[in-house]
Amino acid sequence: MKIIKLSILAFLCTFLILGCKKDRKANWDAAYLIPLASSRIEFNNVFGNYISGGANNADYIYETKLYENSPGLLSIPDTGLNTSFTLARLKLADRSIERKISLGEINPLFLLLDGTTTSIPAQNQTNLTPFDIDASDFFDQATIKTGEMVLEFENELPVNLSLLEFDLINKANGDIIGSATFNNVAPNTKAIKIIDLANKQIGAALQVKIKTLQTDASSGNVLIDANKGLNIKISVRNLTTSAATAVFPSQTVLEQDEPLSQYFDGAELKYIKVRSGKLKISLYTSIAENMTLYLKIPSATKNGVMIDEEIKVEGARNGRPTSLSKEIDMAGYVIDYRGKDPDITDTVNTFYQIMRVVLDSSGRKLSVSLNDSINLSYGLEKLVPEYAIGYLGNTINETGDDNVPMAIFEKLNGNINFNNVSMDLNITNGIGTEGSVLARKIIASNSKKGIDIPLTAAVINNPYIIGRANFNPFFNNVQQVTLQNSNSNVKQFVENLPDKIKFNMQIATSPNGNNNNWQDFIYYNSKFQIDLRLKFQNLLSFNQLQFKDSINFNLNEIENLERVKEGKIYLFFENRFAFSINLKLAVYDKNNRFLDTIGNNDMNEIIAASGAVAAKGKAFINIPPNKWNSIKNAAFAYIILTANTPPNTQISINSSDYCKIDVSADVTYQIKAN
Amino acid sequence: MSIKSTLTIGILLLTSIKLSAINDSAKPKFFINEIATSFAIGSNHLNSFAALPFIFRGNINQKNIEKSTVLLMAKNRTGIIANAGIKFSVQEYNFSINSALYSGFSYSKDFFLLLFKGNSQSAGKVLNLGMNGKQIGFYTLQYIHKNINYKNKWQLQIAPEVYVINNYASIKTKGKNTLFTSENGQNIIAELNYNAYQNTNAISGFGFGSSFLAYKIEGNKISSWRVKNLGISLLPNNLRVFSQDTNWNYSGFNFTLGQNFSVASRADSLRRLLYIESRQRNRITMMPIQISYGIEDVKKIISFNYMAMPGYLPQISYMKKLFKANHRIDIGAQMGGWSLLNSKFGLSTQLNKQKQQKLVLEIIGIESLLINYPGFGACLKINW
């Protein structure tokens, strides 16, 4: 039984082992040789971007921009007109109607005597039956704000009218619009009375109610003509309404004919040519009548043609207001800012515009009230000038404490000795006015060493005046300040290997005011620029000159990295530089904590070329197991190249020199079988 | 198969053994007929100590890898079989449950050197990487329909079976597969054309098939034919496919000082050169069919065996029987399969004559534990 139990136990053990097959892994180490990278280190990899350089003893030149201001400067504020108006400005047409009150209407007895010759006794009638007058030719209904009614009376009776008193009544409500009294109107003569209609509401149905009609007796027999009587002519004039249902006449409802001024922050402009921008016109109306908008800007011309726009606007329909907008591209237009009539009054910053809105009468009766309005706006928007001429104003720009990177030395550290070095400050003025530069300080700052070397030269703290650019043909005015050993500490300044140039400058335009009598100019591309130009002779030496560049070195994403145990990195090099290079890798974790340095031994030295003969060979970096942990935890790394020229020797670096490095890794890798 | 389920099966087995013992006098409803476990590692060159970690985990040291290169040939083969199973009866019905793992590989010498030693030592040489391999792990539930008599001569056992696949992987190269590493390690030039499949899900697939046993007894001589794992399986569960069919020349990346680059992304690009990963929804695979023919009499056992697995050659085995009291010792050798020529030793002990209890222990290639020689296996079996 013991054997059976042992057998069962053995069976179960085997079963367990088989059952757990997936957890089981055989593993072994193998050595793999893998190409990693090829790199070619050239002069500009180390010294940043130089712009020229050449064979032995040629100069290397590096340029960087210290300051640039594109006053492009002039900001043209949006400007224009925005107006709205209501019926306060809307007139009704002057119109007349006539009404004859015949003798038969006055007294039917005369109808019997019509055509006979008889004497007429004196008459005195009062409160005659009112006579209707149809005033629908004026309007159907109107609430008059201002205006008057003219009552012209002609006596066609064969007798003298000694007294006529009547009221003009709004038939709809019986309100008296006005009253008139005429005395002693001889036959076939006229008399006039004017009634003020202000603030009266008048309908189309009027009535004349004669309160007193007195006539004298005829002198003898006279011919009775029952059709003749009293002719009344009623006219309305100078009417403005607060509400009306009427036929409105064609009329100009808005007229602007005036210059508009713009403010250019101290500049006084005569002309600009527009590079981009637009004229935007917007109109909104609730009036049901069509309109025409006329806009002229005589100050804005393109190829000699001014802006002249005629825009038809449909009236509101079915209670829905009309809105309309239109944009005109202003590119290419020249705007004359000298005002309405420069020959008479030559001014600045002012352009001339004419605008008119005309109501186009359709002959239809329309209801309009004071609530109806027209809103109109037009404006010059987002104008960018191609050029501007005038006085550009005295502007002062302070850079404050600022700095620019010096790419040429940004990744270098150590000690370098140039045989000869100079530095130019190139000041470029692309503006048609004088400028001045006050350099308060220019500092070569090496932030890695924490050393600042201020420039000592005549240009520091002394205003430097630069002349204006030329208008036609256009060219910049460029002036150069050259700094050499003889007039500055430029050698010390450059050999500090600044990774930054710190500066504080004041740049002014038109420092002496309107010297050029409004003849300053500026183009869209005009700029004021200060460049620093560094020139060093290709004869130099260095000691422990260190180039440092960061790379993304997060290997955690690489699958099964933990299986790499140790390794060796081979560097197959071909070095044409006359200096040796030592290559190291400093690895850091994600919190920027230094972890380790790889390659800090003598085996990884890339030896210097000897004359024209390139140095070729193999260097290597050992990565023992204890370094692998650092590599595995790295998030980034610095490649550190340390270069040395042979002791006490100045070398030349040809721009075609390079150091080619082919990198491969020979690693021991643990393989696990599935 | 998880540890938990393995233990559950184990406990059930123990319980059932105990129950069968308690109710010995009663008519058994459930009875265990056989428990067997075995493993075998065959290879024409792979040192047994280098091979055993593939079953029992652990590190393969450089010494054993080096020893395994002595017998390396242009074309090589290695295989592993591990089995554990139980046969039991329920009433008059016979069943078996088996857990098995089959791995078989045939590969070039260079493939082995690249895999086990890396490419550093072969820099400057073109490596030919021909390779064909398959690994399948599965459980089998088998119903054994016994003794169909054929013309009173042959007894036939048919055993329909179902398979549950728990591990599947295969790889096959096509045409030329080469890899060249320049001596300075600056270039790797490869010509790859292969397909590989892998599914390591707990349950990777299902299948069905049958095993057969036909035997004839003539006096003291027994002749038998056995067919095992004649079946197919469907792997429906999102197979990972690794493949490549391209030529490439990798020389690292161009790195310019002062310009950003990511080391990790470069590693990815190298990985993409080695393989392209995709998914395949279904795959049908043949089970590792085994066909064997055996002749046994009172003096010897001779058997011929073949299995449809990569690298497996027809195998012949001869065992001389030696008897002493209730014990029998078999001594012989086998040749072929994945191996060369290995010794074979068997011990059979009658534990209880009345109950026909028998313990069988078999060890193959014991010499490989003593000298640097490939091939080793062991089998333990108890019959009731």
Dump pLDDT digits (tens) for A363-414: 888 887 767 778 888 888 888 888 999 998 888 889 999 999 988 888 788 8
Do residues A264 and A272 touch, judged by C-beta distance below 8 A? no
Of the listed ranges A600-604, B132-136, B207-211, the least confidently predicted one is: A600-604
Are β-strands A26-42 and B58-59 bridged in parallel, bridged antiparallel, or unpaired? Answer: parallel
Q: What is the pLDDT of residue B369?
A: 86
Q: What is the pLDDT of residue A21?
A: 47
- Model confidence at B72, in pLDDT bands (50, 70, 90)? very high
Measured between beta carbons, which residues in chain A are less than 8 angstroms from residue B22?
A: none
Best residue in B134, B257, B362, B380 to probe A by mutation, most A CBs within 10 Å? B257
Collapsing DSSP states into helix, strand and coil, what is residue A173?
A: coil
Best residue in B8, B34, B52, B57 to probe A by mutation, most A CBs within 10 Å? B57
A109 pLDDT higher than 50: yes
Query: Pick the residue with more confidence: A4 or B31?
Result: B31
Q: What is the mean pLDDT of residues A167-183?
A: 88
CA distance A652 to chain B (A): 21
Nearest neighbour of A4 by CB, restricted to B200, B258, B351: B351
For A19-42, give the DSSP string. HTGGG--EEEEEEEEEEEEEEEEE
Question: Do A38 and B254 count as a contact with CB atoms less than 8 A apart?
Answer: yes
Q: What is the mean pLDDT of residues A407-436?
A: 89
Q: What is the mean pLDDT of residues B359-380?
A: 91
What is the model's pTM? 0.59
Measured between beta carbons, which residues in chain A are less than 8 angstroms from residue B98?
A: none
Q: What is the pLDDT of residue B337?
A: 95
Query: Pick the residue with more confidence: B147 or A183?
Result: A183
Nearest neighbour of A572 by CB, restricted to B83, B84, B186: B186
Q: What is the pLDDT of residue B266?
A: 62
B123 pLDDT higher than 50: yes
Q: What is the mean pLDDT of residues A191-209?
A: 87
Q: What is the mean pLDDT of residues A455-476?
A: 93
Question: Do A669 and B118 count as a contact with CB atoms less than 8 A apart?
Answer: yes
Of the listed ranges A163-172, A306-315, A462-471, B261-270, the least confidently predicted one is: B261-270
C-alpha A170/C-alpha A202 separation (Å) is 6
Question: Do A15 and B10 count as a contact with CB atoms less than 8 A apart?
Answer: yes
Question: Do A19 and B100 count as a contact with CB atoms less than 8 A apart?
Answer: no
Measured between beta carbons, which residues in chain A are less than 8 angstroms from residue B266?
A: 37
Nearest neighbour of A22 by CB, restricted to B9, B167, B250: B167
Measured between CA atoms, the residue of chain B closest to residue A551 is B260
Dump pLDDT digits (tens) for B73-107: 999 999 999 999 999 988 888 999 999 999 999 99
C-alpha B130/C-alpha A283 separation (Å) is 84
Measured between CA atoms, the residue of chain B closest to residue A631 is B263
Mean pLDDT, chain A, rounded, equals: 84
- Model confidence at B257, in pLDDT bands (50, 70, 90)? low
CA distance B369 to chain A (A): 19
Question: Do A14 and B84 count as a contact with CB atoms less than 8 A apart?
Answer: yes
Of the listed ranges A12-21, A430-439, A527-536, A548-557, the least confidently predicted one is: A12-21
A568 pLDDT higher than 50: yes
Q: What is the mean pLDDT of residues A535-543?
A: 82
C-alpha A165/C-alpha A277 separation (Å) is 68
Of the listed ranges A90-99, A519-528, B283-292, B317-326, the least confidently predicted one is: A90-99
Structural tokens at position A278: 């637009």
Tell me the percentage of chain B whose pLDDT exceeds 70: 88
- Model confidence at A565, in pLDDT bands (50, 70, 90)? confident
Q: What is the pLDDT of residue A483?
A: 95
A224 pLDDT higher than 50: yes
Collapsing DSSP states into helix, strand and coil, what is residue A188?
A: coil
Nearest neighbour of B380 by CB, restricted to A11, A547, A557: A11
Measured between beta carbons, which residues in chain B are less than 8 angstroms from residue A546?
A: none
Do residues B100 and B83 touch, judged by C-beta distance below 8 A? yes
Q: What is the pLDDT of residue B18?
A: 42
A6 pLDDT higher than 60: no
- Model confidence at A110, in pLDDT bands (50, 70, 90)? confident
Q: What is the pLDDT of residue B6?
A: 43
Q: What is the pLDDT of residue A430?
A: 93
- Model confidence at A525, in pLDDT bands (50, 70, 90)? confident
Q: What is the pLDDT of residue B19?
A: 40
Interface check for A121 against chain B (CB to CB < 8 A): the answer is: no
Highest mean pLDDT among B235-239, B279-283, B325-329 belongs to B325-329
Nearest neighbour of B116 by CB, restricted to A24, A30, A37: A30
Q: What is the mean pLDDT of residues B1-15?
A: 41
- Residues in A 353-412 with any Cβ partner in B closer than 8 A: 411
B14 pLDDT higher than 50: no
Closest CA relative to residue A269, chosen from A416, A366, A385: A385
A543 pLDDT higher than 90: no
B15 pLDDT higher than 50: no
Element (H, E) at A492: helix A490-495
CA distance A616 to chain B (A): 13
Q: What is the mean pLDDT of residues A426-432?
A: 94
Collapsing DSSP states into helix, strand and coil, what is residue B4?
A: helix
Q: What is the mean pLDDT of residues B248-254?
A: 82
Of the listed ranges A51-60, A83-92, A513-522, the least confidently predicted one is: A51-60
Do residues B76 and B69 touch, judged by C-beta distance below 8 A? no
Residue A377 φ/ψ, nearest 5 degrees: -140, 145
Highest mean pLDDT among A371-385, A430-444, A654-668, B339-353 belongs to A430-444
Question: Do B54 and A41 count as a contact with CB atoms less than 8 A apart?
Answer: no
- How remote is the C-alpha of A225 from its chain's centroid? 82
Beta bridge partners of A438: A506
Are β-strands A322-329 and A201-203 bridged in parallel, bridged antiparallel, or unpaired? Answer: unpaired
Dump pLDDT digits (tens) for A235-258: 888 888 878 888 888 888 778 888
Measured between CA atoms, the residue of chain B closest to residue A17 is B56
- Model confidence at A90, in pLDDT bands (50, 70, 90)? low
- Residues in A 24-83 with any Cβ partner in B closer than 8 A: 24-41, 45-46
Cis peptide bond N-terminal to A121, omega within 30: no
Interface check for A559 against chain B (CB to CB < 8 A): the answer is: yes
CB atoms near residue A327 (< 10 Å): 11
Q: What is the DSSP letter of B9?
A: H
Q: What is the pLDDT of residue B9?
A: 46
Query: How far, CA to CA in Å, does A58 sit from each of A53, A98, B154?
Result: 6, 108, 103
Q: What is the pLDDT of residue A3?
A: 46
Q: What is the pLDDT of residue A4?
A: 47
Q: What is the pLDDT of residue B262?
A: 63
Query: Pick the residue with more confidence: A376 or B375?
Result: B375
Q: Is the dihedral angle over the CA atoms B297, B298, B304, B305 positive or is it negative?
A: positive
Measured between beta carbons, which residues in chain B are less than 8 angstroms from residue A8?
A: 13-14, 17, 35, 382
Residue A46 φ/ψ, nearest 5 degrees: -90, -45
Best residue in A7, A45, A408, A557 to probe B by mutation, most B CBs within 10 Å? A7
CB atoms near residue B110 (< 10 Å): 22
Element (H, E) at B113: helix B109-117
CB atoms near residue B352 (< 10 Å): 12
**What amino acid is encoded at A21 in this protein?**
K
C-alpha B145/C-alpha B165 separation (Å) is 23
Query: Pick the residue with more confidence: A135 or A165?
Result: A165
Best residue in A18, A551, A581 to probe B by mutation, most B CBs within 10 Å? A18
Pairs of CB atoms within 8 A across A/B: 197
Q: What is the pLDDT of residue A540?
A: 81
Nearest neighbour of B263 by CB, restricted to A40, A553, A674: A553
Q: What is the mean pLDDT of residues A131-160?
A: 85
Best residue in B115, B255, B356 to probe A by mutation, most A CBs within 10 Å? B255
A9 pLDDT higher than 70: no
Dump pLDDT digits (tens) for B190-224: 999 999 998 867 788 899 999 999 999 888 899 99
Measured between CA atoms, the residue of chain B closest to residue A31 is B118
C-alpha A572/C-alpha B69 separation (Å) is 32
Model ipTM value: 0.83
Beta bridge partners of A37: A663, B253
CA distance B148 to chain A (A): 31
Nearest neighbour of A37 by CB, restricted to B1, B253, B258: B253
Query: Pick the residue with more confidence: B199 or A75?
Result: B199
Measured between beta carbons, which residues in chain B are less than 8 angstroms from residue A15?
A: 6, 9-10, 37, 84, 99
Do residues B43 and B57 touch, judged by C-beta distance below 8 A? no
